[in-house]
C-alpha cells in the first residue's frame, strides 16, 4: 500500500493533509497516525508501502509511557505512593545510600542507577528474569548522589518498574498490563506479543541517512563513560538484528520488557492514552493521579543524554526541545521516531509510528508537527 488509508473526522482534515504531504515528499517513508478527541477516534491513518493500519511494530521507549499507565493504576488504587521511599515496598533497595530515594524520584530518572557500575546485564536479566537484574541494581551504590542530578535510565527504569510492580501486586508488570489494561480495551499494543499476532509484525529497519546526515554522525564527539555504560549495558548487540535488544529479536517481543519491548500500532497507543483523558470511557486513573505524574520532577541537562530534558513520573513532558503537547500533556517518544501522549486540556490522545527508523532518534520532527496540527483542530472544534 502506498496511498493514504483510513477514516478522518472532517474537523481533522488539516492533519490528514499534513500527513499526506509527508508521504508525498518521501517515497521511502511509511507511518501510522491515530488520534482520539472527546471520546472518539477521529483519525486512524496509515500510509506508505511498509505499514497498514493493522500492522504491528516495535516502538522502543514509547513502551515506557505505556508502563507509566500501569504505574498510574497502582497509584490510583493506593498500592503505590510517589512520595514514599522505594525501600518501603522493596526493602533490599535501601542498601548503599538508597534508603531515602522516593518512588517519584526513581520514576523521574533521579536515582543514579542508569547502568550497572561494573559489568553488563545478561539478556535474560531484562527479559524473562528481570527480578535478577533488579537484585543487582538493589545491591549497587548510586552512580551520582541521589538528588544531585538526573539522567535517562534508558534500560534500567524498566527493570526497576517491573520489580516495584512485583513487590506490590505479586504479578509481573506485563501481566498487570495485559489483564487490567490491554485486554479489557482490546488495545492493539502488547507487552509480550502473542504467537497468534506474529504475522502482523513489521520488522524495524535502519534509518536512511542523507550524505549530510552521514557527515553529521561521523563528526559527533565520542560519548562519555557514563553514556557508554548506559547504552552498552546488555550482553547483546545494540542493533536491529534477531540477536539484538530490539523487537526484531523474537525473544524481546515475546517478553515485552517495559523499557524497550512494546509492539503495537498507533491506534493501539492512542486507545490506551484515550483512557487517561477527561473523556475516558474506561478511566485508568483519576485526573489528579495523572496531573501528579505529569508534574515536572526533572528539568535541565540530562546527565546521560547530554541534552535538555524534562520528566514527570515515568512520562517525558513537553519542552522546548520537543514541544509535542500543551501544558499538562504527558507521554513518551522512542528511538525509532514514534510518539504517543495524552493532552488533557485538549482532551486529545495521540499515537504515531514511522518506518523506517528516523534520524537522529527520539520523536520524529513530523510527529511534533502532526501533534501541533491536531491540537489546533481540537481547540477549534
Confidence class of residue 210 from pLDDT cuts 50, 70 and 90?
confident
- CA-atom Rg of the chain in angstroms: 19
Contact by Cβ (8 Å): 309, 300: yes
Read off the C-alpha cell for 157: 527504569
pLDDT digits (tens, 9 = 90+) for 225-276: 999 999 999 998 878 989 999 999 999 999 999 999 999 999 999 999 999 9
| Residue 189 parent element (H or E) | strand 189-190
| pLDDT number for residue 151 | 98
Q: With cut-offs at 50, 70 and 90, classify the pLDDT of residue 2.
A: low
Total Cβ atoms within 10 A of residue 163: 24
Q: Which CATH number fits domain 59-199+221-349: 3.30.70.580, 3.40.710.10, 3.40.50.970, 3.40.190.80?
A: 3.40.710.10
Mean pLDDT of all residues in 330-355 = 97
Cell numbers for 181: 489494561
Cα–Cα dist 200/14, whole Å: 29
Phi and psi at residue 10, in whole multiples of 5°? Answer: -55, -35
Burial grade of 211 (CB within 10 A; 0-12, 13-18, 19 or more) = exposed
Q: What is the predicted pLDDT for the residue at 318?
A: 97
User: H or E segment at 42?
Assistant: strand 40-47
Question: What pLDDT score was predicted for residue 1?
Answer: 41
Contact between residue 29 and residue 22 where contact means Cβ atoms under 8 Å apart: yes
Rounded to the nearest 5°, which phi and psi values hold at 221?
Answer: -70, 160
Question: What count of other Cβ atoms lies within 10 Å of the Cβ of residue 241?
Answer: 13
pLDDT in tens, 66-122: 999 999 999 999 999 999 999 999 999 999 999 999 999 999 999 999 999 888 999
∠ CA(295), CA(98), CA(289), 5° rounding?
25
Res 14 pLDDT > 90: yes
Confidence label for 202 from pLDDT (cuts 50, 70 and 90): very high
189-190 and 263-264: which strand pairing? Answer: antiparallel
Q: Which three cell numbers stand for residue 207?
A: 534509518
What CA–CA distance (Å, rounded) separates 203 from 224?
31
| Cis previous bond, 342, omega within 30 | no
pLDDT tens sequence across 30-59: 999 999 999 999 999 999 999 999 999 999
pTM: 0.97
Q: What is the pLDDT of residue 236?
A: 87
Each as own residue / partner, the long-range contacts of residues 225-228 (CB below 8 Å, 24 or more positions apart, any chain) are 226/114, 226/115, 226/143, 226/151, 226/303, 226/304, 227/304, 227/305, 227/306
Give the tens place of pLDDT for each residue, 355-376. 999 988 888 999 999 999 999 9
Beta strands in 230-284 (DSSP E): 263-264
Dig out the grid coordinates for 32 from the structure.
501510522
Amino acid at each position: 500500500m502506498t496511498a493514504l488509508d483510513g477514516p478522518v473526522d472532517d474537523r481533522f482534515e488539516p492533519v490528514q493533509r499534513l500527513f499526506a504531504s509527508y508521504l508525498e515528499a518521501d517515497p521511502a517513508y511509511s507511518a501510522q497516525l491515530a488520534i482520539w478527541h472527546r471520546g472518539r477516534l477521529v483519525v486512524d491513518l496509515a500510509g506508505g508501502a511498509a505499514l497498514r493500519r493493522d500492522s504491528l511494530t516495535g516502538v522502543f521507549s514509547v513502551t515506557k509511557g505505556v508502563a507509566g499507565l500501569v504505574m498510574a493504576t497502582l497509584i490510583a488504587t493506593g498500592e503505590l505512593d510517589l512520595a514514599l521511599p522505594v525501600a518501603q515496598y522493596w526493602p533490599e533497595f535501601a542498601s548503599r545510600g538508597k534508603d531515602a530515594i522516593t518512588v517519584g524520584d526513581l520514576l523521574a530518572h533521579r536515582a543514579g542507577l542508569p547502568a550497572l557500575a561494573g559489568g553488563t546485564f545478561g539478556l535474560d536479566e531484562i527479559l524473562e528474569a528481570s527480578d535478577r537484574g533488579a537484585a543487582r541494581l538493589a545491591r549497587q551504590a548510586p552512580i551520582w548522589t541521589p538528588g544531585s542530578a538526573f539522567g535517562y535510565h534508558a534500560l534500567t527504569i524498566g527493570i526497576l518498574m517491573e520489580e516495584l510492580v512485583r513487590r506490590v501486586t505479586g504479578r509481573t508488570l506485563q501481566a498487570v498490563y495485559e489483564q487490567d489494561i490491554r485486554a479489557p480495551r482490546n488495545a492493539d499494543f502488547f507487552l509480550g506479543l502473542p504467537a497468534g499476532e506474529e504475522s502482523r509484525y513489521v520488522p524495524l529497519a535502519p534509518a536512511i541517512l542523507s550524505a549530510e546526515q552521514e557527515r553529521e554522525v561521523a563528526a559527533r564527539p565520542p560519548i562519555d563513560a557514563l553514556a557508554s555504560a548506559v547504552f552498552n549495558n546488555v550482553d547483546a548487540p545494540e542493533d536491529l538484528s534477531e540477536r539484538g535488544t530490539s523487537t526484531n529479536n523474537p525473544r524481546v517481543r515475546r517478553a515485552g520488557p517495559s523499557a524497550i519491548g512494546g509492539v503495537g500500532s498507533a491506534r493501539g497507543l492512542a486507545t490506551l492514552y484515550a483512557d487517561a483523558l477527561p473523556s475516558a470511557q474506561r478511566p485508568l486513573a483519576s485526573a489528579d493521579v495523572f496531573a501528579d505524574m505529569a508534574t515536572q520532577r526533572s528539568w535541565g541537562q540530562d546527565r546521560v543524554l547530554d541534552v535538555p530534558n524534562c520528566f514527570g513520573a515515568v512520562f517525558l513532558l513537553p519542552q522546548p526541545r520537543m514541544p509535542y503537547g500543551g501544558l499538562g500533556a504527558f507521554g513518551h517518544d522512542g528511538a525509532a521516531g514514534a510518539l504517543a501522549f495524552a493532552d488533557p486540556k485538549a482532551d486529545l490522545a495521540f499515537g504515531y509510528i514511522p518506518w523506517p527508523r528516523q534520524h537522529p532518534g527520539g520523536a520524529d520532527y513530523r510527529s511534533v508537527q502532526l501533534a501541533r496540527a491536531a491540537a489546533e483542530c481540537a481547540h477549534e472544534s
